[in-house]
Copies of this chain bind each other. A is one copy, B any other.
């Protein structure tokens, strides 16, 4: 994971939500990124499109990045279904031909593609399919709740709404307070940032809870585990992953992530987002039989709003839920940290 000089491929999809992986790598591993490949946005500055990444060149091809001596190509999107978009194949073969490793979080494993595989072998390169789970994940047992470590899980009112960012920010805030804290990655982007974890949406479904439990048990020497959530409990496609994660993590505390501007599920306009009080009740009731826990706060994704509007939204949500609310990117997560700190033995 060290000494990485990454080119990130976003090819026409560079926006805050579609290119979540690219944006998060730029936010948390800025020092690793040497260029973006995106024909549609070539020549622009990333900051003008996604608000961060000032100065990273956006170019139209792998060839144009070679003078920057890149060591790897990272696939910067996580589309629903996780397939390789049409037209991206050439960028990947170009990268391998030019001796770049490939890092991908797609559901389809690039390492299983015969052309990519041969190029990688011929050039002694790695294809890291981040979503590929480890072998021999056990069935869940409910044992996470017996560990002494404090487990804080982020959950959401939808997918792609700020759960990973919130979990990382909580980890960083806890470390600043001197707490021995660990970010527990459960999705492809989190794993790329942290360098470890399991993409729970890619394990066989009977083993979702077991995978999360393994992540917790393997890290039970930490005082605090800040566990990345996935999906939402009412999602027509992904709710199973969300609930398995909740029960496998057996958290003492939950942070509910939400985007005020979003009224229906992303990519699923027929499905309204549930009111926050209903979501809080549902998550707490579902957690209860495995391990009782409370929602400790609301993390708001106020992307695109002014600071003043965001503050107004925060106040509104605090009144509605009687819980502390933050925007982790605009104002940090300090408001959560006293209640999290108080859970430590």
Contact = CB atoms under 8 A, between A and B. Distances in A.
Interface of A: 80-82, 107, 138-142, 200-206, 208-210, 233-248, 250, 268, 270-272, 274, 282, 285-286, 289-290
Nearest to A282: B285
Given A271-B290, A274-B289, A286-B282, A237 B203 contact: no
Given A201-B206, A286-B282, A243 B236 contact: no
Number of copies: 2
A141 B241 contact: no
Contacts of A236: 140-142, 209, 247-248, 250, 290
A206 B107 CA distance: 9
A139 B237 contact: yes
Contacts of A234: 247, 286, 289-290
A241 B240 CA distance: 6
The 8 closest A-B pairs by CB, nearest first: A240-B244, A142-B236, A140-B237, A234-B289, A240-B240, A201-B206, A208-B240, A205-B205
B286 A244 contact: no
Nearest to A290: B236
A206 B141 contact: no
Nearest to A241: B205
Contact of A286 (B82, B233, B272): B233
